[in-house]
């Protein structure tokens, strides 16, 4: 063995080391090298390799019986080939009409599997009306989207590709022409489903990949398993408040059979009420949805028009669902800001201010939302608890986000001073309680 034979690999190793160092030095603020501010697809995939192994086994933290019986639809059992196909599709910008947008553009592995925007940006830089939820743990929801209009991950995945302002393919045939003619895909589809490429299997494959994005290994879980030092005393007080005075648990129950912290129901917690005239919009929506509208039409109303703010009403057409949205999961919430269906709340302190004042009053406000009278210390404790729900694989990102939000909250909390004393009293509240009844 001579010297030159060793210098090659050694130098390569050093170069890789330097590259990794530079990468890490640049920190959570990764260079935006793909369109629409996403991390480049190849880099995202490297991140993903560090985060998960594409196992077909039931994920830790989920009951294995429930996993097989509830979370995996019949006919789409998890296999390595299906996951591999879905993963390739998830990162493939050819699924958008102009070739600039993949699922991973808005559900970016380097940005908490979301895009950190108030509302998402699709092809042609079009902005939608809603904030992108994370795809982490989405597999554990009973319905998809803020209004639950898609019944499963498998059905959900087929919608953004055809939505004009997200990925913009005019129809399934156009989407399939862009990937289904590629011999590599033909082989992958054949291996995964034993048939030629088709749109339903495309949805199934992407859903299979998303079923590997389970992130339920947080400091809170170690605390729940008995390690009393796993979370700070402040976070422990916050957990008690969460279950008590702050009443969060009435909608965000979090336990072993319901690990992500949602009741899977829809509530008007007074987020949209900040800006909407619900009555006029509901009227307009009933007109627009009259004659047997299909799921694509509903998708457009939800993402492109003011009717978006009607939430669940668009799906159920029940008045009680006006302005109601799906109870969002609380897992990994530290790294998925901004918050709520319209991305209107920048930090978890803003979220607490929102709940503390009893939401924004409107005639459809959920009965579970009322002023909480939490002190500043109590607010800090609940926020500390919420940051313990982020999976340990994102510990550094979570820490950085907490510092950023803390600094922001110290300077600017738009809803704090607009709190209880300024809460608008509705006519019916006055009738019930008298003018002095609500302060």
Interface positions with ligand HEC (CB under 6 A): 101, 103, 105-107, 120, 122, 128, 130, 132-133, 135, 138, 141, 144-146, 153, 156-157, 160-161, 166-167, 206, 246-248, 250-252, 267, 269, 271, 302-303, 325, 327-328, 330, 333, 336, 339-341, 348, 351, 355, 366, 368-369, 382
* Least Cβ distance, residue 409 to ligand HEC (angstroms): 14
Measure the CA–CA gap between 343 and 271, rounded to whole angstroms: 10
Nearer to ligand HEC, 2 or 51 (CB): 51
Nearer to ligand HEC, 194 or 367 (CB): 367
Nearer to ligand HEC, 138 or 438 (CB): 138
> Measuring CA to CA, which residue among 418, 415, 268, 271 is closest to residue 350?
415
* Least Cβ distance, residue 159 to ligand HEC (angstroms): 8
Nearer to ligand HEC, 26 or 352 (CB): 352
* Least Cβ distance, residue 287 to ligand HEC (angstroms): 20
Nearer to ligand HEC, 19 or 145 (CB): 145
* Least Cβ distance, residue 82 to ligand HEC (angstroms): 14
Measure the CA–CA gap between 171 and 77, rounded to whole angstroms: 27
Measure the CA–CA gap between 211 and 95, rounded to whole angstroms: 20
Burial group, residue 341, by CB count within 10 angstroms (0-12, 13-18, 19+): buried
Measure the CA–CA gap between 402 and 86, rounded to whole angstroms: 33
* Least Cβ distance, residue 369 to ligand HEC (angstroms): 5
Nearer to ligand HEC, 247 or 416 (CB): 247
> Count of CB atoms within 10 A of residue 56's CB?
15
CA 30 to chain centroid: 20
> Measuring CA to CA, which residue among 103, 107, 208 is closest to residue 161?
103
* Least Cβ distance, residue 71 to ligand HEC (angstroms): 13
CA 94 to chain centroid: 23
Beta carbons of 192 and 82 less than 8 angstroms apart:
yes
Give the C-alpha distances (Å, rounded to integers) separating 399 from 116, 403, 416.
16, 6, 24
Nearer to ligand HEC, 16 or 151 (CB): 151
Beta carbons of 361 and 270 less than 8 angstroms apart:
yes
Nearer to ligand HEC, 310 or 348 (CB): 348
Cα four-point dihedral sign 391, 396, 397, 402: positive
Residue with tokens 């800001």: 337
* Least Cβ distance, residue 129 to ligand HEC (angstroms): 8
What are the two backbone dihedrals, phi and then psi, of residue 37, each rounded to the nearest 5 degrees? Answer: 80, 5
* Least Cβ distance, residue 267 to ligand HEC (angstroms): 4
């Amino acid at each position: 063995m001579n010297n030159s034979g060793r210098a090659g690999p050694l130098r390569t190793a050093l170069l890789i080391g330097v590259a990794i160092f530079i990468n890490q030095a640049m920190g959570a603020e990764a260079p935006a090298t793909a369109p629409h501010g996403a991390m480049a697809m190849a880099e995202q995939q490297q991140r993903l390799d560090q985060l998960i192994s594409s196992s077909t086994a039931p994920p830790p933290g989920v009951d294995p019986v429930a996993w097989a019986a509830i979370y995996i639809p019949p006919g789409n059992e998890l296999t390595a080939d299906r996951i591999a196909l879905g993963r390739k599709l998830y990162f493939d910008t050819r699924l958008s009409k102009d070739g600039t947008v993949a699922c991973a553009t808005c559900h970016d592995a380097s940005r908490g599997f979301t895009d950190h925007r108030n509302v998402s940006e699709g092809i042609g830089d079009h902005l939608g009306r809603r904030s992108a939820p994370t795809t982490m743990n989405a597999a554990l929801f009973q319905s998809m989207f803020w209004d639950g209009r898609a019944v499963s991950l498998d059905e959900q995945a087929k919608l953004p590709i055809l939505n004009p302002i997200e990925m913009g393919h005019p129809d399934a045939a156009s989407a399939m022409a862009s990937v289904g003619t590629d011999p590599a895909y033909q082989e992958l589809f054949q291996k995964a489903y034993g048939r030629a490429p088709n749109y339903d299997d495309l949805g199934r494959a992407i859903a299979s990949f998303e079923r590997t994005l389970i992130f339920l290994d947080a400091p809170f879980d170690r605390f729940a398993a008995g390690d009393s030092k796993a979370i700070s005393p402040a976070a422990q007080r916050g957990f008690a408040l969460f279950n008590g005075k702050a009443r969060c648990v009435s909608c965000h129950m979090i336990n072993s059979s319901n690990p992500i912290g949602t009741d899977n129901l829809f509530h008007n917690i007074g987020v949209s009420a900040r800006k909407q005239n619900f009555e006029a919009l509901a009227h307009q929506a009933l007109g627009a949805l009259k004659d047997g509208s299909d799921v694509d039409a509903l998708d457009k109303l939800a993402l492109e028009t003011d009717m978006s703010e009607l939430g669940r009403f668009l799906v159920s057409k029940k008045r009680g669902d006006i302005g109601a949205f799906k109870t969002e999961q609380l897992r990994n919430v530290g790294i998925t800001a901004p918050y709520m269906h319209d991305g209107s709340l920048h930090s978890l302190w803003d979220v607490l201010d929102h709940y503390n004042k009893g939401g924004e009053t409107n005639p459809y406000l959920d009965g579970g939302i009322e002023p909480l009278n939490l002190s500043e210390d109590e607010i800090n404790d609940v926020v500390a608890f919420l940051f313990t729900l982020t999976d340990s694989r994102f510990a550094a990102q979570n820490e950085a986000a907490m510092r950023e939000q803390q600094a922001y909250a110290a300077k600017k909390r738009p809803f704090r001073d607009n709190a209880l004393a300024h809460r608008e009293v509705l006519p019916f509240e006055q009738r019930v309680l008298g003018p002095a009844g609500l302060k």
